């Protein structure tokens, strides 16, 4: 009887840990340079960028825009602490404030 309770408790703990692990999102500290500098996550795993809105911004761009640090004429800015859903493959993000991108404030996140 005690063995059955121990097994049930162990199974419950494994489920709790698994659920907590699944609920965690990857976090990027958005600065110059971002931390981490690159990231690979599961496509289902949201990524949250932590930054101060008046000091930085966050824009999803294509590879060419990423390489040129150019988000185009009217970029859509992602608010701080938003859980960003990624497309499968490479996802590119830059900061468009001042020279931040040129100074290294950009990241490639690969979603598998």
How confident is the model over 25-67, as pLDDT tens digits? Answer: 799 999 999 999 999 999 999 999 999 999 999 999 999 999 9
Pick the CATH number of 26-111 from 2.40.128.20, 2.60.40.420, 3.90.1150.10, 3.10.450.50: 2.60.40.420
Residue spans of alpha helices (H) in the chain: 2-23, 63-68
The phi, psi pair for 103, rounded to 5°, reads -80, 0
Mean pLDDT over each residue of the chain, to the nearest integer: 86
The pTM assigned to this predicted structure is 0.78
pLDDT at position 15 over 50: no
pLDDT at position 19 over 80: no
Between CA 91 and CA 36 the distance in angstroms is 14
Between CA 76 and CA 82 the distance in angstroms is 13
| pLDDT recorded at residue 74 | 85
If we measure between CA atoms, which residue out of 73, 45, 46 comes closest to residue 59? 73
């Amino acid at each position: 009887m005690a063995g059955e309770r121990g097994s049930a408790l162990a199974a419950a703990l494994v489920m709790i840990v698994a659920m907590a692990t699944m609920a965690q999102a990857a976090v990027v500290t958005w600065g110059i340079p971002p931390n981490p500098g690159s990231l690979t996550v599961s496509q289902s795993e949201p990524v949250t960028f932590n930054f101060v809105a008046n000091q930085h911004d966050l824009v999803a761009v294509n590879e060419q825009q990423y390489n040129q640090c150019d988000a185009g004429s009217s970029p859509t800015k992602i608010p701080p602490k938003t859980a960003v859903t990624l497309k499968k493959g490479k996802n590119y993000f830059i900061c468009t404030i001042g020279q931040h991108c040129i100074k290294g404030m950009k990241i490639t996140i690969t979603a598998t």
